[in-house]
Structure 1
């Protein structure tokens, strides 16, 4: 059973072990404060540990989650995206969601999941500097800016970019 948020907006947060704590907790707080309902989707249900000790709980899995049920996809960074990118169902969920045209927000290493979903070709985005070559090799246009919005893509680089990233995702979901 899902409770409906005040705004009726639902956000899918895709998460795996070793996520960058603040890149998950900070945007989730901002979205919840804006009245959205956030659902953590994992490879299995239950607790997921971040790099620095945060623990978040996945209440849905990629087996059961339907991209059509959500208004925005949030992909936190850290070690989470490299765990998700080797999960076929996580990749399929991301690809289907992205192709729907609804907003997709990725920070730091989050773009790794977009690369594996084969959706970055011809798109302009940013990410942590270490994966800039991966973006270019996948046909994407990497730019080193705090916030890049290209169509339905909202991307940022590092935790220091969270204020503008959070503001942008709250705005994106408010406009839907």
Structure 2
């Protein structure tokens, strides 16, 4: 299996684990991962947020790490990449307003390339209008957006993941083992023990 070139779309206040874990795990198995953020260049940083489930009516949020980008958004060409990963957290709520982000997501959907989103990343998928007729998992608060965009909200366990063709989604960072395993399968990555 040849290594894949993967884009990781992030932004300020993306969820810390949803940036760090896929960035490191996908590199660990040999893929090239280029982390990008609109309006920022290679070497600049995004601030992340740590979201936790502590028994409140919603998640709590604390400051996370600063994450250094290793590619420049305006310099990348979607056609040069095999797959796209969209991190969750608060970043998707404003990233989905950027027409260049929408065009990027549509490229991967139109070309049927592997596309993964976790947590609030579904907000970007919905805004790009690429989930109609698809089964999509997301953070439960995003369920109305999934349905309004014509998708079927997959109400799965917080540590589960949903694959519908080239699209792999999960509800939040506790899903990383299932979400990343399913994404690797869609990528064609084989890991043997």
Q: Report the TM-score, using the length of structure 2 for normalisation.
A: 0.83
2:70 is the alignment partner of 1:56: no
2:19 is the alignment partner of 1:20: no
Deviation at 1:175, TM superposition (A): 4.7
Checking the alignment, whether the CA contact within 8 Å between 1:63 and 1:89 is kept in structure 2 is no
Count residues in correspondence: 171
Q: Distance in 2 between matches of 1:142 and 1:97?
A: 21
- 1:170 maps to which of 155, 169, 184: 184
Following superposition of structure 1 onto structure 2, how do residues 111-150 of structure 1 map, counting pairs within 5 Å? Answer: 111-145=122-156, 146-150=160-164
- 2:34 maps to which of 13, 29, 39: 39
Checking the alignment, whether the CA contact within 8 Å between 1:14 and 1:73 is kept in structure 2 is yes
2:172 is the alignment partner of 1:158: yes
Alpha-carbon spacing, 1:166–1:94, altered in 2? closer, same or farther (3 Å):
same
CA RMSD of aligned residues (A): 1.7
Q: Distance in 2 between matches of 1:107 and 1:47?
A: 21
Structure 2 equivalent of residue 3 of structure 1 = none
Instruction: Tell which structure's C-alpha radius of gyration is larger.
Output: 2
Deviation at 1:60, TM superposition (A): 3.1
Structure 1 equivalent of residue 117 of structure 2 = 106
Checking the alignment, whether the CA contact within 8 Å between 1:17 and 1:83 is kept in structure 2 is no
Structure 1 equivalent of residue 53 of structure 2 = none
Unaligned runs of 5+ in 2: 50-62
Per-residue CA distance 1:12-34 (angstroms, 9 max, x = gap): 00011000000111112211111
Q: Distance in 2 between matches of 1:170 and 1:27?
A: 11
